[in-house]
Structure 1
Amino acid sequence: MKSLLIIGGILFVCIGLALGQNAGGPAPAPRALLDQYCVTCHNQKLKTAGLALDQMDPSNPAQNTEAWEKVVRKLRAGVMPPQGMPRPNPSSYEALTVSLETALDRAAETKPKLPAPGVHRMNRTEYANAIREILGLDIDPTVYLPADDTSYGFDNVVSGLQMSPALVEGYVTAASKVSRLALGRDTAPGRRIYYAREDYSQEEHVEGLPFGTRGGILAHHYFPADGEYIISWVPIRNTVGTLYGGDSENEQVELTIDGERVKLYQVGKDIPLTANVQADKNEVRVSVKGGQHAVGVAFIANTYIPHVFLNRSYRRSILDDNPIDGIMQTPQVSRITIQGPVNGLPAQDTPSRKKILICSPTTPREEPACAKTILSTLARRAYRRPLTSKDTETLLNFYRSGRESGNFEDGIERGLQFILAHPEFVFRSETAPANVKPGELYRISDLELASRLSFFLWSNGPDDELINLAGQGKLRDPKVLEQQVRRMLADPRSQELVKNFAGQWLGLRTLQSQTPEGTVYPDFDDNLRQAMRTEAEMFFESILREDRSVSELLTADYTFVNERLAAHYGIPNVYGTQFRRVKLEGPLDVRRGLLGKGSVQLVTSNSDRTSPVLRGKWVLENILGTHPPDPPPNVPPLKPNPTAGAQTMRQRMDRLLSGKL
């Protein structure tokens, strides 16, 4: 909150929201300013916006902190007094705001209002990260759990993480399926399809696919067991079955697993130029060991260009059966399907099995001790605390119930199911000490602090080092705490802070649903969309890791681009798919800070034009931390105008507000 207010203050100064002339002498007292400029509307009689400022004491905001916080947000956003009403001069305006902030901070230090301890459910992202950390297994949480609700724009706020019968069933089912998958015991055939987005251009090399290829799809697929799998792929065809790309008989398509070629297809021979769409069966049956593998289908890069597309105008290579001249058509991959295993056998050599089975009993007598070691190690990480003897005995009881009806691994699987369905894994909770009175301050335990740290910085549970320090009561030491925070930020797992916090704060998660009108913006494709997202994430990460001023979120004179994004921005001499840091100067000054980033501009625009209203609302909510008032009734839409191309958006908005449009 404080960082948002700081940013708000910067914008307040930069864009001159506070009108009026500087006056000499000391600023008027807060009470006098409120009476002169605010009480006219916000009084006991009118109570505009639910505020009666004539009944509130600005020198003692502790009596009504929520209302005064609301006042400060409006002041920092520069939206009060509203446009057209008298305002104090800038120095008095700033003095009033600082006075209220200082009084609120002092009141919070004297008598802080802390939320009562609650129960915090893991969201889908945290669940998947925890499974990866504990079991060494990458899963798609959307397969097992329903979507999380959001609160205040985030999906990790307690108030939005409600529990429902569907979620209970989802976590229990996931515990069973994930346990079998992690131990390589899921031999039932399955089917997974990986699609390319409709606006994904396949002209450039895709990172992760073999060099010397272009386009295609790279699917990171988890093969649950050892056995044969059927892998097939389908090219894009139009509605009558003609291969997208037309005159492309020189094209070759390569199917690879972990970069090794499995099969090479020839367009025009193995892949007919015209065919029944349902008849495309580019199948291959291949033996694959269980575990994570990269399956790729890509075109062999060549210098051949169909003669009808020599006059290429746009970078985008696919657009709804090509209704615009200048869109270069070449063959494209539509989807990859992976089925199997066929006659599968339990996997024996996967990263997850190695992480789980840390000992191997050679005789039945050794099994209980080994089971205790395995399950207690897993439970300690899952429960995020040292185990008690009761915890260990419960785990062994579940192991015994599975062992009685099967073998050693059956017992481990039963114990693992119990761990993954246990409330202390799915939820994290904080409890007040028994001797603490209601409303009284107390120090949370070191283990609770460890969980707070790890879920904030990593979206995951604490690792062994953090649990060890917390268990020893050392984490509360300020020096140890600082050392751990710096260690955690330097760890690659802190990338989750960038993806999840910045992704939700800046609205980057909504980029996937933002699709500019293709006939208006024929150069826009999914490649550019993903480049915009990467740019914003790398920019936010640079501010964080380089410990830069928060003000540089709005003013920094650098950004990160690859060739695709550089071409969009008009930055010369940038080639390839790798991102690199570039300085913004001259005409590129408009790209400074967050507001110059293509991703932010995209999520605050309509499909066919920019939107000052959406962008202004985004600035108020995401930067200044305040919600704009509801729009006035009966505001007409911005009508299409054949002469609009000769007008700026500001001119069109002025005409709308004046009633001329």
Structure 2
Amino acid sequence: MKPIQVAVAFLAWSLIVGMALGETPTDQGETPAVLSTFIDTYCIDCHRGDDPEGGLGLDALDFNLSDPETARRWIGVHDRVSGGEMPPPEETQPAGERSTAFLAALSSRLMEAESDRRDVVLRRLNRHEYQNTVRDLFHTAVTINGLPEDSSTDGFDTVGEGLAVSAEAMAAYLDAADQVLDAVFGSEQPPQQIRHETNLLDQVDWRGRPQLDNQIGKMFRRTEDGLVIFQSGYCPTNLVNFARLRAPAGTYRGTLRVRAVQSDQPVTLRIYGGDTIVNRGERHLVGYYDVPPGRWTTIQFTDRLVEAGGTFQPKCYGTRDTRKDADTWSEPGIEIGDIVIEGPLESWPPPGRIHLLGELDLQTADQDDARTIIGRLLPRAFRRPVQSSEADAYVNLFASAVAAGRSFESALRVSLKAILCSPDFLFRNEPGASQISPHALATRLSYFLCSTMPDDELTGLAIDGSLRRPDVLRQQVERLLDSPRSSAFTKNFTGQWLDLRDIDFTEPDANLYPEFDELLRISMVQETEMFFDEILRENLSLVNFVDSDFTFLNGRLARHYGIDGVDGQAFRKVSLPPDGLRGGLLTHASVLKVTANGTYTSPVLRGVWILENILGQPTSPPPDNVGSVEPDIRGATTIREQLAKHRDIPSCAACHRQIDPPGFVLECFDPIGGYRDRYRTMSTEGQRPGIKQAPFTYAWVRYRIGLPVDATAQMDDGRSIDDIREFKKVLAAAPDQLARNLTVKLMTYALGRKVGFSDRATVDQIVRQTRQHDYGFRSLIHAIVQHPAFQKP
């Protein structure tokens, strides 16, 4: 079968599936009489016309509950009546039985409509799951390029509704299958092995001439053992010129003898890999390393070069550059002595090839051998038992390719490519009437906690039927959470729940925040991921997410937070002072950065983020005719003053009473998560800060000190909040609300569907069970997995 035939066949299948998975619209009828009578009697006077109370016009609201926005509005009506907010106390109140009948009728219709919309039973593997799955299926490391970005639904890219397959995506999967198989089979001959022992003094350019001679005494200082580098910015030197060596892509080990000079403290070395000079190819950070002063030490790193001909480049960090007087420069630097670069470290033949083929002689292999390989691979690829007839289809592909003159290996690749492009591989089928199959349960659990296919132990438990037992499920949850593979859960869940994936979405204004740099950005994310890991590993209370007495810091982040006693690049658990501002996610620089842009903070953006991500209280979109608040970047007015005018608009006031207070209490933190009591401005007037150059980056400071920050707030219920410390206590006092929100987020991520109105009883049950275990995070994971909803289709 030609690749285009595979593509056409799968595209046709995906279109059929798309039709099968499409929403079944409910009839767009009029509002049922039992509801309209109640609305007309108790609600319509305030909720009609061009300017209805709270922006909710019930006179214009239809009852097409197949429309998510319409359903959301009717759920809001249900909750306000149920909570006693509507009708308001000063209005005529309905008798108890009338409210009960209204709520029962509306609840029934909402759940029926939600059931009609919830027909998605197949989920495509998202990009991260695909990458991990092919790694574990073939026991080979491969970086997949070219797969399109996945859509996010209700905040997660695991929801089946958003994981459609287009013709463009199918072409990408065909190419991805080739990338996988190239890595599995490897080259016909072992790659060139390199062990390059050198010194920066020995480096030559592509013409064979000394590479750095013209910079000795300017940028670099020659010593008996090598070179001293001072550069933290521009740095033209590479540890080794792989383009000249024609080194293949692969994993390399680097060993450097280094020592810090002209410093009584460690100096930081950073190393980059890939295309480090021209920057036309792949380039990445290898790592940051502490180099102690005085004595020689050895730094060793292991890194994968994705493209052939890459190299490694050293730079100082946090030092001032010299470009003209290195011999007399008196500030800290790093002396680099002998260097050894060796690799590729991957064994040959590749482990994936050995795992797939074993000791098979490809010169004498025949169709029976192909059948054996395919029969062994299919159950793991499809994550379920397979019938012999299913294997026959792929064996026939192999036979057709052989008949067309292909070799055994080439013909086998045709079958394997078809498997990797099969719906049974790309989609997670979860069949069942009241319960999904044991193999689907193993798959759901594994992708929930590890973002990859079930391992042999999970598969074995599915085969013998014991996985459904509560004690076995509990043991497997513990095992998976304790395994290194659970790091994918931390990265993928926090990346979406807390928007950490957006850490690079904005670049802070270099004039306003000259101290921001790469290491700070990396450290921000690492703090939050390690904090999440600790709460999960130790089964700490969910309350720690909003108010904790510890965090994880390295020297760079501790300096940013103004916390003493933490030095070096290694992260460690740090106890926070009881009267300090830090503690909990809302004070993490990562969260504070992704809830701001690079220039200013917005209490609206941060307030909406807290309501949706921490409290589980999504806000209504603003009216179409209301413009956004444009902050005064010249610093003449504060954002609080501008929002006060915005709240004077009646259609905005109701929502802003909820949104603004949480955002205001975070105004003491700037767009990169630093504490502030005054704003920064680029106005030509105002007080200059007390420093001329920013720490770490040594960039010139150009901003001025602006107006004072007011981080007080008045909550919607009238409570006054003086600062973030009081607000954290308010949040911590409502652990059920925190647990309910996180339950919904985790269920959405795990089940691959929206968690809606009809799931409320399930969520309440899980929260009650978690409460009995002191709101432990690990206990919450167990409660979700043990609940019958986790095993429903």
TM over 0.5: yes
**Correspondence for 2:221 among 238, 249, 252:** 249
TM-superposed deviation, 1:279 = 13
In the alignment, is residue 131 of structure 1 matched against residue 134 of structure 2? yes
Amino acid at match of 2:503: L
In the alignment, is residue 638 of structure 1 matched against residue 643 of structure 2? no
TM-superposed deviation, 1:267 = 7.3
Give 2:554's aligned residue: 562
Deviations 1:342-387 (A, max 9, x none): xxxx9833222232223435983x7555433432232221111112
Give 1:598's aligned residue: 589
Deviations 1:472-495 (A, max 9, x none): 443333333333222222222121
TM-superposed deviation, 1:53 = 10
Give 1:451's aligned residue: 443
How do residues 275-286 of structure 1 correspond to structure 2 at under 5 angstroms? 282-283=241-242
Amino acid at match of 1:424: D
Q: Mark the CA change 1:121 to 1:35 in structure 2 (over 3 Å): closer, same or farther.
A: same
TM-superposed deviation, 1:123 = 1.4
Amino acid at match of 2:414: R
In the alignment, is residue 372 of structure 1 matched against residue 371 of structure 2? yes
CA-based RMSD of the aligned residues comes to 5.4
Deviations 1:31-82 (A, max 9, x none): xxx99998764369976544649999xxxxxxx974454358889999x89x
CA distance in 1, matches of 2:154, 2:549: 30
Q: Mark the CA change 1:603 to 1:110 in structure 2 (over 3 Å): closer, same or farther.
A: closer
TM-superposed deviation, 1:502 = 0.9
Q: Mark the CA change 1:278 to 1:562 in structure 2 (over 3 Å): closer, same or farther.
A: closer
Q: SS of 1:294's equivalent?
A: strand
Give 2:76's aligned residue: 70
Decide whether the 8 Å contact of 1:457 with 1:489 is kept in 2.
Answer: yes
CA distance in 1, matches of 2:521, 2:573: 18
Deviations 1:193-217 (A, max 9, x none): xxxxxxxxxxxxxxxxxxxxxxxxx
Q: Mark the CA change 1:347 to 1:318 in structure 2 (over 3 Å): closer, same or farther.
A: same
Decide whether the 8 Å contact of 2:226 with 2:335 is kept in 1.
Answer: no
Give 2:708's aligned residue: 648
CA distance in 2, matches of 1:466, 1:105: 42
In the alignment, is residue 42 of structure 1 matched against residue 47 of structure 2? yes
How do residues 334-345 of structure 1 correspond to structure 2 at under 5 angstroms? none
TM-superposed deviation, 1:463 = 2.0
Give 1:27's aligned residue: none
**Correspondence for 1:618 among 592, 602, 609:** 609
In the alignment, is residue 150 of structure 1 matched against residue 146 of structure 2? no
Decide whether the 8 Å contact of 1:117 with 1:431 is kept in 2.
Answer: no
Q: SS of 1:227's equivalent?
A: coil
CA distance in 2, matches of 1:110, 1:616: 30
CA distance in 1, matches of 2:123, 2:241: 47
Count of aligned pairs between the two proteins: 519
The 10-residue stretch of structure 1 (104-113 or 514-523) with the greater mean CA deviation from structure 2: 104-113
CA distance in 2, matches of 1:599, 1:77: 35
CA distance in 2, matches of 1:45, 1:609: 34
CA distance in 2, matches of 1:73, 1:585: 40
TM-superposed deviation, 1:593 = 0.8
Q: Mark the CA change 1:121 to 1:410 in structure 2 (over 3 Å): closer, same or farther.
A: same
Decide whether the 8 Å contact of 1:65 with 1:104 is kept in 2.
Answer: no
Q: Mark the CA change 1:566 to 1:347 in structure 2 (over 3 Å): closer, same or farther.
A: closer
Give 1:222's aligned residue: none
CA distance in 2, matches of 1:579, 1:415: 47
Decide whether the 8 Å contact of 1:514 with 1:607 is kept in 2.
Answer: yes
Give 2:427's aligned residue: 427
TM-superposed deviation, 1:127 = 0.9
TM-superposed deviation, 1:556 = 1.8
Decide whether the 8 Å contact of 2:48 with 2:57 is kept in 1.
Answer: yes
Decide whether the 8 Å contact of 1:450 with 1:462 is kept in 2.
Answer: yes
In the alignment, is residue 396 of structure 1 matched against residue 395 of structure 2? yes
Give 2:577's aligned residue: 585
TM-superposed deviation, 1:630 = 1.8
Amino acid at match of 1:620: L
Deviations 1:80-125 (A, max 9, x none): 89xxxx9879xxxxxxxxx99x989997999795411433211111
Q: Mark the CA change 1:634 to 1:368 in structure 2 (over 3 Å): closer, same or farther.
A: closer
Q: SS of 2:622's equivalent?
A: coil
TM-superposed deviation, 1:566 = 1.7
CA distance in 1, matches of 2:388, 2:532: 45
Deviations 1:130-152 (A, max 9, x none): 111111222333x2312222223
Decide whether the 8 Å contact of 1:248 with 1:331 is kept in 2.
Answer: no
**Correspondence for 1:294 among 237, 244, 252:** 252
Deviations 1:190-247 (A, max 9, x none): xxxxxxxxxxxxxxxxxxxxxxxxxxxxxxxxxxx51368999999xxxxx9979954
CA distance in 2, matches of 1:156, 1:144: 19
Amino acid at match of 2:374: L
CA distance in 1, matches of 2:712, 2:402: 75
CA distance in 2, matches of 1:615, 1:77: 26
TM-superposed deviation, 1:397 = 2.8
Deviations 1:278-311 (A, max 9, x none): 99994565587x8851355979343147xxx9xx
**Correspondence for 1:184 among 164, 183, 186:** 186
Decide whether the 8 Å contact of 1:230 with 1:286 is kept in 2.
Answer: no
Q: SS of 1:300's equivalent?
A: strand
CA distance in 2, matches of 1:568, 1:245: 34
Q: SS of 1:159's equivalent?
A: helix
Give 2:639's aligned residue: none
Q: Mark the CA change 1:178 to 1:245 in structure 2 (over 3 Å): closer, same or farther.
A: farther
**Correspondence for 2:568 among 563, 566, 576:** 576
Decide whether the 8 Å contact of 1:361 with 1:370 is kept in 2.
Answer: no
Decide whether the 8 Å contact of 1:359 with 1:370 is kept in 2.
Answer: no
In structure 2, runs of 5+ residues without a counterpart are: 1-38, 63-69, 91-99, 205-212, 268-315, 324-330, 636-684, 687-703, 715-793
Decide whether the 8 Å contact of 1:251 with 1:299 is kept in 2.
Answer: no
Output the TM-score relative to the length of structure 2: 0.54
Q: Mark the CA change 1:427 to 1:586 in structure 2 (over 3 Å): closer, same or farther.
A: same
Decide whether the 8 Å contact of 1:38 with 1:53 is kept in 2.
Answer: no
Give 2:520's aligned residue: 528
CA distance in 1, matches of 2:501, 2:112: 38
Decide whether the 8 Å contact of 2:319 with 2:332 is kept in 1.
Answer: yes
CA distance in 1, matches of 2:255, 2:438: 49
Amino acid at match of 2:572: R
Q: Mark the CA change 1:466 to 1:634 in structure 2 (over 3 Å): closer, same or farther.
A: closer
CA distance in 2, matches of 1:393, 1:606: 56
Q: Give the share of equivalent positions with the same residue, in percent.
A: 33
TM-superposed deviation, 1:407 = 4.5
CA distance in 2, matches of 1:104, 1:629: 27
Give 1:140's aligned residue: 143
Decide whether the 8 Å contact of 1:185 with 1:347 is kept in 2.
Answer: no
In the alignment, is residue 539 of structure 1 matched against residue 531 of structure 2? yes
**Correspondence for 1:167 among 147, 155, 169:** 169
Q: Mark the CA change 1:230 to 1:532 in structure 2 (over 3 Å): closer, same or farther.
A: same
Give 2:482's aligned residue: 490
In structure 1, runs of 5+ residues without a counterpart are: 1-33, 57-63, 90-98, 188-224, 236-240, 253-263, 322-327, 434-441, 655-661
Decide whether the 8 Å contact of 2:261 with 2:334 is kept in 1.
Answer: no
Give 2:386's aligned residue: 387
Give 1:349's aligned residue: 349
How do residues 212-361 of structure 1 correspond to structure 2 at under 5 angstroms? 226-227=191-192, 247-250=219-222, 266=227, 282-283=241-242, 292-294=250-252, 296=254, 300-304=258-262, 316-317=318-319, 348-361=348-361
CA distance in 2, matches of 1:37, 1:295: 74
Give 1:121's aligned residue: 124
Q: Mark the CA change 1:598 to 1:367 in structure 2 (over 3 Å): closer, same or farther.
A: same
